Amino acid sequence: MRKTTILGFLLLFLKINLTINDMGYFYLISNLLGISIILFNIKNNRAIKDDIYMKFYIILNIILLALKLTGLEITSIALTDFSSFLLSIFFLLGLFINFFYPLILFSSILNKAANGIFSYQKVAIFVKIALLLIPLLTISFMFSPFLSSILIFIIIILEITSAYLLLSERNSDNKIFNNK
């Protein structure tokens, strides 16, 4: 895994607001930049590049950015009729996917690169813990915003720690990264 790929994931993990429904310009643009860097670096890996979920993620970020530019946010949708209720449900689903997909993509690329190498397996433990926290975060988002903010913070710390471990491994003389 290249340093620039790790930088792309750091941009995807970058979050200033500790809520799932973060729709700031900075977050959405950093997502688009991060996924672009990752796509550029994995151009030789056809299995990941042709991933339909990655294309959906890019389109979702563009749609969310366009909605942000037009001033439509999930909190501004009035739940007066069934169509607005459906719109808010799809909007919330999009925000969840926007938050969780980078972690799932990171886990997928990490598993493909691991091949039993111990240093990758150490990083994979942090990613698995973060993935296990996702259902708890989803439930706590509905009932306790404070707990969900704490869980988001923990997930972000796990993501950044994983990327840091990969970068520190990259700087060592290990042969995993010599195969660009």
**Structure confidence at residue 138 (pLDDT):** 77
Give whichever of 21-30, 41-50, 101-110, 148-157 has the largest mean pLDDT.
Answer: 148-157
pLDDT of residue 102: 84
Handedness of CA 62, 63, 68, 74 (dihedral sign): negative
Residue 42 is given by DSSP the state T
The first and second tokens of residue 41, run together, are 């670096």
Whether residue 42 contacts residue 48, with contact meaning beta carbons closer than 8 Å, is answered with: yes
Query: Percentage of residues in the chain with pLDDT exceeding 70?
Result: 76
> Cα–Cα distance between 21 and 106 in angstroms, integer?
21
Question: Residue 151's pLDDT is what?
Answer: 87
Token output for 141: 């988002």
**pLDDT per position as a tens digit, 76-123:** 777 788 888 888 788 778 877 887 888 888 877 776 666 555 566 777
Please count the other Cβ atoms lying within 10 Å of the Cβ belonging to residue 94.
19
Overall average pLDDT of the 153-177 stretch = 70
Residue type, 125: I
Q: In the chain, where are the structural domains located?
A: 3-179
Q: Which of 180, 163, 87 is nearest to 126 (CA)?
A: 163
Confidence of residue 180 (pLDDT cuts 50, 70, 90): very low
Distance CA 38, CA 178 (A): 18
pLDDT at site 49: 58
pLDDT of residue 3: 74
From the list 155, 42, 45, 170, the residue with the least C-alpha distance to 117 is 170
Residues 138-163, mean pLDDT to the nearest whole number: 83
How many residues in total does the chain contain?
A: 180
Q: Give the separation between CA 53 and CA 35, rounded to whole angstroms.
A: 12
Kindly report the backbone phi and psi dihedral angles of residue 45, in degrees, each rounded to the nearest multiple of 5, phi listed first: -95, 95
